[in-house]
Structure 1
Amino acid sequence: MTYTIAQAEQELQAKCEKLNLRWYPRYHLAARAGWINDPNGLIWFDGWYHAFYQHHPYSTQWGPMHWGHARSKDLLHWEHLPVALAPEGPEDKDGCFSGSAVIDGDTLALIYTGHKFRGDVSDDENLYQVQCLATSRDGVHFTRQGMVIDTPADLHHFRDPKVWREGDNWYMVVGARVGDTGQIRLYRSADLRQWQDEGILDEAEAGMGFMWECPDLFSLNGKRVLMFSPQGIAAQGFENRNLFQSGYLVGDWQPGEPFVRAGEFVEMDHGHDFYAPQSFLTPDGRRIVIGWLNMWESPMPEQQDGWCGMLSLPRELTLNENNHLQMRPAKEVEALRQAWLPWPASSLKNQQTLMANKAEAMEVVLHWDCTSSDAEQYGLSLGEGLRVYVDTQMQRLVLERRYPQYGLCGTRSVPLVPGAPLALRLFIDSSSIEVFVNDGEACLSSRIYPDADRRQLSLFAWHGTAILSEAGAWQLE
């Protein structure tokens, strides 16, 4: 089947009127209808933030990838634009896979992976992935420029180009797989069209994954951060619990030199649902990242409602003196705030106290005095399906979701410093929660699926007392 942008637009216009909106996000970006996964091409161009994304407009399942497109003045209120790319050429006939965007003079350039099979699609030996270019003057309509990097010899998995400019050259990192070893390839160009192979930037040692997807290399605080999404890291204890991860290595790199690591791989988000993050720069120089709020091969109950998948809140990245990447909600998110609702709770003892009857678009602020709290478990619950709480026996902050009717039960957690205060910002949307811990020290993001009449928000403390120094919530636009 040949796909076109016009066909995709017709499909979306027909489908978007039939959505069940019970879990559709109130303030996160999702597709008009159909499937969405990785964010692509995040950039500021000609007065707008642009977000492209992996998109299958024809169903709520993953399928031949298109590039969906939306733009915003403030990273919050998104205007849907026509589909930017469809798999309509010989180089991408089976999908326009992930990539990035750059500004070249007065032109917006998309660099993406063309995905194609030559023969049986069940055999990776027939898979070829190449890097392609498309350009636009108006940021809406794109002209395909074709393939700019062919599949290297003996490679089949070779995707997700991230491009940036440094000095007089463009640079590109591409994720790859050689046997069962993930790696990141590096390329250099003067014009975005002719690319020179600069070799392997970094690759996995034993246990670090068979494929490194969605690579991104950028500078923070005098260091280089190599962000990527490895596939095939085994879970150990509390770490790497999801099917695939997203994380980073900190190190040093200069053009023409090897990347030298300065630490171990670290997960970026410890919730159930966060993958394929991509970063970009704001006009004032902040490094912002947005990820996909879903996880491969997990149940996605919204598929029955005509849509599937969403993107995370924009998050500002900083690197502290210990080379730890911190993620905070971008300052723009505060513009969503409406009424502030102070919560009277200051002390809880063996009780659960109702704080809101219906939490649907809300930012909750909780400051726990852990030194003065001795309850075994204390925290917040949303209906019967979600709890975010301190477990004092494990000394961990736990996000627990329980939706057995959808096959979604389990916990994710991060360690706490014994006796240290705990400040939380929790962003609740129709079907998601993002928890920011101690001003960006950690983050947990998960999809949630409460029934409309089971969105009561409560605080609780069991087997002892818990003390709050601040508690309340912002209603969000």
Structure 2
Amino acid sequence: LHLFYQYNPKGATWGNIVWAHSVSKDLINWIPLEPAIYPSKVFDKYGTWSGSATILPGNKPVILYTGIVDVTKHKSKNYAIPANMSDPYLRKWIKPDNNPLIVADKNINKIQFRDPTTAWMGRDGYWRVLVGSVRNHRGKVIMYKSNKNFMKWTKAKHPLHSAQGTGNWECPDFFPVSLKNENGLDTSYDGKDVKHVLKVSFDVTRFDHYTVGTYDTKKDKYFPDNTSIDGWKGLRLDYGN
């Protein structure tokens, strides 16, 4: 098992963020390894912020992460892959030179644009990923699509979901949950008796909230149930800060 997390190797305060990496066989005992991702390229020179991992066909892991490209904190979406798949610890990760994969267009706030989710594949064979953002105090998750090669991404015509007055959305997660059993589902699962969960972190409050609802796979739109409230009055994931 691999755990990646945001970490400041220089102190217990925010800053100098790298991707720390630990491994475990039982989720109890963990072995810390050297950082997997740290600023080293022109597309992440000023920071390597949050993102997610996706397992591609052939059991090949890939990490999508947020790179800080300049002192104004403009952000891009980059990828990293293991340098040696035969290493069970996956100690070393490389960031290919064809990065970045995703950059903000003129209609996107380039500063409030971060934290790509784990990707999922639709019935049409296209990968999808979400990136947190905001426009005029309306928090949203922007969807991007890619063909099977995972390398060329195009912004969808509309966000998967948004909510007025919620401010910038960070660290989104989007995944299916079964209504029939307690087993987890692959992010690409598309079947009966399923609801979807959209979790976001509100930059205004620094709290994580979530809604439960329905994902319309034909329209690529998410609709929270009537019992799920968008915003900081809704369901809260935890009470940490």
Normalising by structure 2, we get a TM-score of 0.79
Contact 2:10 2:16 in 1 (8 A): no
1:186 counterpart = 2:143: yes
Instruction: Name the CA shift for 1:218/1:155 in 2 (closer, same or farther; >3 Å).
Output: same
1:142 counterpart = 2:114: no
1:249 counterpart = 2:203: no
Structure 2 counterpart of 1:436:
none
Structure 2 counterpart of 1:262:
225
* Aligned-pair CA distance for 1:244: 2.1
Percent identity, please: 29
Structure 1 counterpart of 2:21:
69
Structure 2 counterpart of 1:427:
none
1:91 to 39, 43, 51: 43
| Counterpart mapping for 1:220-231 below 5 A | 220=177, 221=179, 222-231=194-203
* Aligned-pair CA distance for 1:218: 0.8
Contact 1:224 1:253 in 2 (8 A): yes
Contact 1:65 1:94 in 2 (8 A): no
SS class of match (2:40)? coil
Structure 1 counterpart of 2:117:
162
The whole-number CA distance in structure 2 between the counterparts of 1:61 and 1:231 is 18
Structure 2 counterpart of 1:212:
169
What are the Cα deviations for residues 393-422 of structure 1, in whole angstroms up to 9, with x where unaligned? Answer: xxxxxxxxxxxxxxxxxxxxxxxxxxxxxx
Between Structure 1 and Structure 2, the one with more helix by share is 1
Structure 1 counterpart of 2:34:
82
Contact 1:110 1:134 in 2 (8 A): yes
Instruction: Name the CA shift for 1:270/1:108 in 2 (closer, same or farther; >3 Å).
Output: closer
| Counterpart mapping for 1:67-466 below 5 A | 67-104=19-56, 105-117=58-70, 121=71, 126-136=72-82, 137=85, 138=87, 139-145=90-96, 146-153=99-106, 154-156=108-110, 157-166=112-121, 167=123, 168-190=125-147, 191-198=149-156, 199-206=158-165, 209-220=166-177, 221=179, 222-232=194-204, 243-257=205-219, 258-263=221-226, 264-265=229-230, 266-269=234-237, 271=239, 273=240, 295=241
Contact 2:119 2:127 in 1 (8 A): yes
* Aligned-pair CA distance for 1:269: 4.0
The whole-number CA distance in structure 2 between the counterparts of 1:256 and 1:98 is 29
Counterpart residue type for residue 148 of structure 1: L
* Aligned-pair CA distance for 1:270: 5.3
Contact 1:170 1:192 in 2 (8 A): yes
* Structure 1, unpaired ranges of 5+: 1-48, 233-242, 274-294, 296-477
Instruction: Name the CA shift for 1:116/1:179 in 2 (closer, same or farther; >3 Å).
Output: farther
The whole-number CA distance in structure 1 between the counterparts of 2:217 and 2:155 is 13
* Aligned-pair CA distance for 1:249: 1.4
| Counterpart mapping for 1:5-84 below 5 A | 49-84=1-36
Contact 1:245 1:267 in 2 (8 A): no
* Aligned-pair CA distance for 1:102: 1.3
What are the Cα deviations for residues 53-81 of structure 1, in whole angstroms up to 9, with x where unaligned? Answer: 11111222211311000011122211111
The whole-number CA distance in structure 2 between the counterparts of 1:140 and 1:212 is 31
The whole-number CA distance in structure 1 between the counterparts of 2:211 and 2:163 is 11
The whole-number CA distance in structure 2 between the counterparts of 1:270 and 1:170 is 29
Counterpart residue type for residue 254 of structure 1: D
What are the Cα deviations for residues 18-72 of structure 1, in whole angstroms up to 9, with x where unaligned? Answer: xxxxxxxxxxxxxxxxxxxxxxxxxxxxxxx111011111222211311000011
The whole-number CA distance in structure 2 between the counterparts of 1:147 and 1:155 is 17
Contact 1:185 1:201 in 2 (8 A): yes
What are the Cα deviations for residues 202-258 of structure 1, in whole angstroms up to 9, with x where unaligned? Answer: 11223xx211111111111211111111122xxxxxxxxxx4221111221133412
What are the Cα deviations for residues 131-157 of structure 1, in whole angstroms up to 9, with x where unaligned? Answer: 000001232211102210012214121
What are the Cα deviations for residues 148-167 of structure 1, in whole angstroms up to 9, with x where unaligned? Answer: 00122141211000122324
Counterpart residue type for residue 65 of structure 1: I
Count of residue correspondences: 206
Instruction: Name the CA shift for 1:197/1:270 in 2 (closer, same or farther; >3 Å).
Output: closer
Structure 2 counterpart of 1:450:
none
Normalising by structure 1, we get a TM-score of 0.41
Instruction: Name the CA shift for 1:267/1:57 in 2 (closer, same or farther; >3 Å).
Output: same
Counterpart residue type for residue 141 of structure 1: K
The whole-number CA distance in structure 1 between the counterparts of 2:44 and 2:61 is 20
Counterpart residue type for residue 14 of structure 2: W
* Structure 2, unpaired ranges of 5+: 180-193
The whole-number CA distance in structure 2 between the counterparts of 1:227 and 1:270 is 11
SS class of match (1:161)? coil
Instruction: Name the CA shift for 1:269/1:249 in 2 (closer, same or farther; >3 Å).
Output: closer
Between Structure 1 and Structure 2, the one with more strand by share is 1
SS class of match (1:87)? coil
